[in-house]
Amino acid sequence: MFRILFTESYQKREQKFFSKHPELKLNYGKTLKLLSLDPKHPSLRLHKLKGKHEGLSSVSINISYRIIIQFLLQDGFIVPVNIGTHDEVY
C-alpha cells in the first residue's frame, strides 16, 4: 500500500482544477484510493512517461482527465505532480 503525498504546489493545481470541474471530485477520490491500494489496477491505465516527463507516470481519472504522478518507491509514497486534460498535463 502506498501513501499519497500532496505538495503545496499540487494542492493549488488541484483547487484550480476542481473550480472548473467540481463534478469530478467523486471520480478523483476513487482514483486516489485505488492508486494507493493497487497502482497497477487496469482501470487506472498507469503508464510511464517519456521525454520531458521522464521519471514520471500517468494515471487516468476518466477518459479525458489524467493525474501525473511520481513514485517514491523506497519510501512508499506516490506524489501527484499535475492534474488536467491530456493536453494540459503533457
pLDDT band (50, 70, 90) for residue 90: confident
Average pLDDT over residues 63-81: 90
Classify residue 90: in a domain, yes or no.
Answer: no
Number of structural domains the chain divides into: 1
Domain presence at residue 10: yes
Q: Mean of the pLDDT values across residues 62-66?
A: 95
- 25 located within any domain: yes
54 belongs to a structural domain: yes
d(CA 16, CA 24): 13
> Band of the pLDDT at 75, cuts 50, 70, 90?
confident
Predicted confidence (pLDDT) per residue in 20-57, tens digit = 999 999 999 999 999 999 999 999 999 999 999 999 99
Residue 30 lies in a domain: yes
Hey, what's the torsion of the CAs at 17, 60, 27, 23, to 10 degrees?
A: 40
Q: Is 9 part of a structural domain of the chain?
A: yes
Range of the domain at 58: 3-84
User: Phi, psi (5° rounding) for residue 5?
Assistant: -110, 110
Using the Cα atoms of residue 47, residue 51, residue 54 and residue 59 in order, give the sign of their dihedral. negative
Q: Is residue 31 part of a domain?
A: yes
Whether 89 is covered by a domain: the verdict is: no
The domain that contains 33 carries what CATH number?
A: 3.30.2310.20
Among 90, 68, 69, 86, residue whose Cα is nearest residue 78? 69
Reported pTM: 0.90
Helix, strand, or coil (residue 3)? strand
